[in-house]
Amino acid sequence: MQELTFQTNPISILNLEKTASFLGVSTATIKNWVKSGLLHTQNEQKGYFFHSTEIENIKNNITSGDLNKLKGYANKSKAERTFIPVEYLKDETNIDNLTKIINFVTNNNINIFTSLFLLSLNLLKKEKIILDYNTKDLTDDFQNLFFTNKQIGEEIKDWVTKIDTDQIKLAYDFLLNCPLPDQRDILGFIYQSLLHEGKKSQNGSYYTPEMIVDEIIKDYVKHNSKVLDPCCGTGQFLLAFSEAIENPKNIYGIDIDEMAVRIARLNILIKYKNKDFAPNIVCKNTLLEIGNYDLFSLNDENIRDFDVVATNPPWGVHFSKIDTEKLKTSFPEITSFESFSYFLKKSIDLLHDGGMISFILPESILNVKTHKDIREIILKNTSIKKVSYLDRVFKNVFTSVIRLDLEKNKNNNNQVVIQKESETYTAEQAKWKNNHNFIFDIHANNIDTSIIDRIFSTKHTTLTNQADWALGIVTGDNDSFITSEKRDGFEEIYKGKDVEKFILGEPANYINFEPEKFQQVAPVERYRAKEKLIYRFISKNLVFAYDDKQKLTLNSANIVIPRIQNYSVKVIVALLNSSLYQFIFQKKFSSIKVLRSHIEQMPLPLWESNIFNKIEKMVDDIINNGTEFENLDNYIFNEYSLSPKEITYIKNS
Directed axis angle between helix 446-457 and helix 644-652, to 10°? 120
CATH of the domain at 225: 3.40.50.150
Distance (Å, rounded) from C-alpha 429 to C-alpha 445?
13
Residue 456 lies in a domain: no
533 phi, psi to nearest 5 deg: -110, 135
- The predicted pLDDT at position 59 comes to 61
Distance (Å, rounded) from C-alpha 616 to C-alpha 549?
18
Q: Is residue 431 located within the same domain as residue 559?
A: no
Q: Is residue 296 located within the same domain as residue 431?
A: yes
Residue 8 lies in a domain: no
Nearest to 193 by CA among 78, 119, 81, 84: 84
DSSP-derived letter for residue 469 is E
The Cβ of residue 136 has, within 10 Å, a number of other Cβ atoms equal to: 9
Distance (Å, rounded) from C-alpha 635 to C-alpha 354?
50
Residue 437 lies in a domain: yes
Q: Is residue 635 located within the same domain as residue 526?
A: yes
- Asked if 337 and 11 touch (Cβ cutoff 8 Å), the reply is yes
- The predicted pLDDT at position 429 comes to 92
- What is the amino acid identity at position 273? K
Residue 648 lies in a domain: yes
Which residues is 499 bridged to in the sheet?
504
Q: Is residue 27 located within the same domain as residue 169?
A: no
**Which DSSP helix (H) or strand (E) runs through 198?**
helix 197-203
Q: Is residue 227 located within the same domain as residue 174?
A: no
SS3 for 29-81 is HHHHHHHCCCCCCCCHHHCCEECHHHHHHHHHHHCCCCHHHHHHHHHHCCCCC
- Asked if 405 and 357 touch (Cβ cutoff 8 Å), the reply is yes
CB within 8 Å of 39: residues ≥ 6 apart: 30, 33, 50, 54, 55, 58
- The predicted pLDDT at position 72 comes to 43
CA atoms within 13 A on the CB side of 10: 19
Residue 644 lies in a domain: yes
Distance (Å, rounded) from C-alpha 329 to C-alpha 234?
30
- The predicted pLDDT at position 535 comes to 97
- Asked if 371 and 336 touch (Cβ cutoff 8 Å), the reply is yes
The Cβ of residue 480 has, within 10 Å, a number of other Cβ atoms equal to: 11
- The predicted pLDDT at position 109 comes to 87
CA atoms within 13 A on the CB side of 559: 32
**Which DSSP helix (H) or strand (E) runs through 588?**
helix 579-589
CATH of the domain at 518: 3.90.220.10
Q: Is residue 42 located within the same domain as residue 127?
A: no
Distance (Å, rounded) from C-alpha 139 to C-alpha 141?
6
Tally of residues, the chain:
653
Residue 120 lies in a domain: yes
Range of the domain at 33: 14-76
Residue 449 lies in a domain: no
Distance (Å, rounded) from C-alpha 206 to C-alpha 208?
7
| Chain-centre distance for alpha carbon 379 | 20
Which residues is 306 bridged to in the sheet?
351
Of the residues 41, 58, 76, the one at which a domain ends: 76
- What is the amino acid identity at position 409? N
Q: Is residue 63 located within the same domain as residue 99?
A: no
CATH of the domain at 49: 1.10.1660
- The predicted pLDDT at position 21 comes to 67
Of the residues 147, 166, 197, the one at which a domain ends: 197
CB within 8 Å of 580: residues ≥ 6 apart: 455, 633, 636, 637, 640, 642, 650
| Chain-centre distance for alpha carbon 422 | 23
Dump the DSSP string for 523-542.
-HHHHT-SSEEEEESB-SS-
Residue 1 lies in a domain: no
Q: Is residue 214 located within the same domain as residue 277?
A: yes
Report pTM.
Answer: 0.74
Sheet of strand 532-536, all strands in order from the earlier edge strand to the far edge: 467-470, 557-562, 532-536, 544-547
Dump the DSSP string for 283-324.
E--HHHHSSSS-SSTTTGGGSS-EEEEEE----S----HHHH
CB within 8 Å of 523: residues ≥ 6 apart: 26, 470
Nearest to 241 by CA among 262, 259, 267: 267
**Which DSSP helix (H) or strand (E) runs through 203?**
helix 197-203
Q: Is residue 297 located within the same domain as residue 368?
A: yes
Q: Is residue 310 located within the same domain as residue 394?
A: yes
> What is the torsion angle, in degrees rounded to the nearest 10, for the CA atoms of residue 284, residue 405, residue 379 and residue 255?
-10
CB within 8 Å of 275: residues ≥ 6 apart: 248
Q: Is residue 189 located within the same domain as residue 301?
A: no
368 phi, psi to nearest 5 deg: -75, 135
Count of domains observed in the chain: 4
Of the residues 54, 76, 98, the one at which a domain ends: 76
Q: Is residue 116 located within the same domain as residue 217?
A: no
- Asked if 345 and 331 touch (Cβ cutoff 8 Å), the reply is yes
Could you read off the pLDDT of 119-151 as tens digits, one per residue?
Answer: 999 999 999 998 766 655 555 556 667 888 899
> What residues of the chain score a pLDDT lower than 50?
1-12, 43-45, 61-81, 197-202, 204, 295-299
